[in-house]
């Protein structure tokens, strides 16, 4: 009997052993009776969303799980995905960059990063963004900021012609305190490359000068909070055509999320984005509301993707205990999904190490539960248990295809399918 499906993407679910948890990972240490029931009624395994041993970002890992052709995922920059999530149009001659509001200090002629996320600022970013609109950077370049989720934003850089990809000014998590990185061109054949990078470097300094004197940051200093007085950028680029297996199969799909990255992917793939004010990317997100919305979305869609960001937040903050507790709350919220008429998959976009706060290349624990599917001998959900599961160690695309096969949505392979698998 054909069934509909829900894939639960627990952002940053995988982890490494933590000494404070007795050598267990947060998932292994957590009490997860509902996910354990799903494992006992189905199969588990380990998933490499892209390639074994390769750390990936959310847009790459989640994009593949949502059906994006792996070859397209290799060339998908983060900036345009975030722009799609905020509704910011990117026109020919423009590039989009993913941004953080950050805390910076001036050291001589250099800007140094004190906090890449400005204390995870979540309020007042719209006020800050208003002073970063239509900034002229000379040589025909202009820049504008639009806020996204929490401390995140999107930068639209416009120039006098088609712009190439340029390098990040954000050195990445775990490096601070450290200098802001100067951008440079990543396309030696485009004569506008170095001019675009120079324009971005000018914007970084101009943004710091404007934000540092902003009244909201003066107030944050008085309150003992880190000022959001700088912008860091990464993932610059544009998007070409994308191949998606869900579209190829003609399946209506929905994405339930509060994270702009997932909303952006939904918009790019022409899936239905489902979001409400209580759906955030932070630990206060409405878990029960997301599960209810996911079940409601099944009425008009064949497959629903439910994204929950909380585990990744705690891991980036090097808080394994918080990650363990969040997984227990998530498990409790998943109780309504213990249904025989729905194929349920649980996986993640990547592993985030709570010891270091960084993404790493370890595979993510995953399960598929279907009333008509095979079972294995696993009865608990965790990294060490999934190593012996019946799914084995598979790619993110293979995990999605396994779910689609359990839903009876796949036909025998045809040569026309090849464009969506490579």
Decide if pLDDT at 405 tops 80. yes
Instruction: Based on the fold, state whether residues 279 and 348 are members of the same structural domain.
Output: yes
Residue 242 DSSP symbol: -
Q: Express each pLDDT in 66-91 by its tens digit.
A: 999 999 999 999 999 999 999 998 98
Query: What was the pLDDT predicted at 109?
Result: 85
* 414 pLDDT tier (thresholds 50, 70, 90): confident
Element (H, E) at 254: strand 253-256
- Among 237, 258, 281, the domain-final residue is 237
Instruction: Based on the fold, state whether residues 225 and 246 are members of the same structural domain.
Output: no
Angle between the N-to-C axes of helices 260-268 and 58-65, in degrees from 0 to 180, rounded to the nearest 10: 50
Q: Express each pLDDT in 175-219 by its tens digit.
A: 678 999 999 999 888 888 999 999 999 999 999 999 999 999 999
- Among 186, 212, 237, the domain-final residue is 237
In a domain, 50, yes or no: yes
Instruction: Based on the fold, state whether residues 247 and 216 are members of the same structural domain.
Output: no
In a domain, 274, yes or no: yes
Decide if pLDDT at 174 tops 80. no
Domain count, the chain: 2
Q: By residue range, what is the domain housing residue 92?
A: 88-237
- Please compute the mean of the pLDDT values over residues 339-349 and round it to a whole number: 96
Query: What was the pLDDT predicted at 23?
Result: 97
Decide if pLDDT at 118 tops 90. yes
Instruction: Based on the fold, state whether residues 230 and 323 are members of the same structural domain.
Output: no
Instruction: Based on the fold, state whether residues 296 and 215 are members of the same structural domain.
Output: no
Contact call for residues 303 and 4 (beta carbons, < 8 A) = yes
* 138 pLDDT tier (thresholds 50, 70, 90): confident
- Among 204, 219, 237, the domain-final residue is 237
Q: What is the DSSP string of 10-67?
A: ETTBB---BGGGTTB-HHHHS--HHHHHHHHTSEEEEEESSSTT----HHHHHHHHTT
Residues 6+ away with beta carbon under 8 Å from 9: 62, 65, 262, 305, 306, 307, 308, 347, 348, 349
Element (H, E) at 322: helix 320-333
Query: What was the pLDDT predicted at 194?
Result: 93
Instruction: Based on the fold, state whether residues 104 and 35 are members of the same structural domain.
Output: no
Query: What was the pLDDT predicted at 409?
Result: 95
More confident residue, 414 or 303: 303
What's the CA gap between 193 and 162, in Å, rounded? 10
What's the CA gap between 412 and 195, in Å, rounded? 51
Backbone angles phi, psi at 113, to 5 degrees: -85, 125
Instruction: Based on the fold, state whether residues 59 and 114 are members of the same structural domain.
Output: no
Helix (H, G, I), strand (E, B) or coil at 274: strand
Contact call for residues 397 and 51 (beta carbons, < 8 A) = no
CATH number of the domain that residue 346 is part of: 3.40.720.10
Instruction: Based on the fold, state whether residues 180 and 319 are members of the same structural domain.
Output: no
Backbone angles phi, psi at 40, to 5 degrees: -65, -30
Instruction: Based on the fold, state whether residues 254 and 401 are members of the same structural domain.
Output: yes
Select from 200, 226, 208 the least CA-distant residue to 131.
Answer: 208
In a domain, 223, yes or no: yes
Q: How many helices (H) and strands (E) does the chain have?
A: 15, 17
Instruction: Based on the fold, state whether residues 157 and 299 are members of the same structural domain.
Output: no
Query: What was the pLDDT predicted at 306?
Result: 98
In a domain, 81, yes or no: no
- Give the β-pairing of 272-274 and 392-395: unpaired
Burial class of 360 by CB neighbour count within 10 A (0 to 12, 13 to 18, 19+): middle
What's the CA gap between 289 and 286, in Å, rounded? 5
In a domain, 323, yes or no: yes
Query: What was the pLDDT predicted at 285?
Result: 93
Query: What was the pLDDT predicted at 8?
Result: 98
Instruction: Based on the fold, state whether residues 391 and 330 are members of the same structural domain.
Output: yes
Q: Express each pLDDT in 217-263 by its tens digit.
A: 999 999 999 999 999 999 999 888 899 999 999 999 999 999 999 99
In a domain, 327, yes or no: yes
Helix (H, G, I), strand (E, B) or coil at 200: helix
Query: What was the pLDDT predicted at 386?
Result: 97
In a domain, 319, yes or no: yes
Decide if pLDDT at 1 tops 70. no
| CA quadruple 87, 117, 14, 264: dihedral, nearest 10 | 0
In a domain, 83, yes or no: no
What's the CA gap between 203 and 206, in Å, rounded? 5
Instruction: Based on the fold, state whether residues 101 and 155 are members of the same structural domain.
Output: yes
* 97 pLDDT tier (thresholds 50, 70, 90): very high
């Amino acid at each position: 009997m054909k069934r509909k499906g829900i894939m639960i993407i627990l952002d940053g679910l995988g982890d490494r052993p933590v000494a404070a948890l007795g050598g267990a990972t947060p998932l292994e240490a957590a009490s997860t009776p509902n996910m354990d029931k799903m494992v006992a009624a189905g199969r588990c395994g380990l998933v490499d969303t892209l390639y074994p041993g390769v750390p990936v970002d959310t847009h790459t890992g989640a994009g593949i799980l949502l059906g994006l052709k792996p070859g397209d995922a290799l060339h998908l920059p983060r900036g345009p995905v975030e722009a799609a999530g905020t509704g910011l149009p990117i026109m020919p001659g423009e590039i989009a960059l993913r941004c953080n509001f950050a805390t910076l200090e001036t050291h001589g002629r250099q800007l140094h990063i004190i906090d890449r996320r400005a204390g995870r600022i979540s309020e007042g970013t719209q006020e800050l963004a208003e002073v970063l609109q239509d900034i002229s950077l000379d040589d025909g370049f202009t820049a504008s900021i639009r806020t996204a989720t929490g401390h995140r934003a999107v930068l639209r850089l416009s120039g006098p012609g088609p712009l190439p990809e340029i390098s990040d000014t954000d050195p990445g998590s775990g490096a601070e305190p450290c200098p802001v990185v100067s951008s440079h061109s990543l396309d030696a054949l485009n004569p506008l490359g170095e001019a675009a990078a120079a324009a971005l470097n000018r914007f970084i300094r101009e943004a710091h000068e404007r934000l540092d004197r902003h009244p909201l940051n003066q107030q944050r200093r008085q309150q003992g909070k880190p000022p959001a007085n700088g912008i860091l950028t990464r993932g610059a680029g544009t998007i070409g055509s994308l191949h998606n297996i869900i579209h190829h199969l003609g399946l209506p799909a929905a994405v339930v999320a509060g994270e702009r990255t997932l909303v952006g992917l939904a918009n790019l793939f022409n899936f239905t984005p489902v979001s409400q004010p209580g759906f955030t990317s932070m630990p206060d997100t409405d878990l029960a509301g997301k599960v209810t919305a996911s079940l409601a979305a099944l009425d008009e869609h064949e497959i629903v993707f439910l994204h929950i960001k909380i585990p990744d937040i705690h891991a980036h903050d090097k808080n394994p205990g918080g990650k363990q507790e969040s997984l227990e709350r998530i498990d409790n919220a998943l109780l309504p999904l213990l249904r025989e008429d729905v194929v349920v998959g649980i996986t993640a976009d990547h592993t985030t190490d709570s010891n270091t706060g960084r993404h790493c290349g370890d595979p993510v624990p995953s399960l598929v539960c279907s009333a008509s599917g095979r079972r294995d001998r696993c009865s608990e959900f965790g990294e060490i248990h999934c190593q012996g599961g019946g799914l084995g160690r598979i790619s993110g695309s293979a995990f999605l295809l396994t779910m689609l096969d359990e839903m009876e949505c796949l036909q025998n392979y045809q040569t026309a399918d090849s464009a969506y698998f490579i």
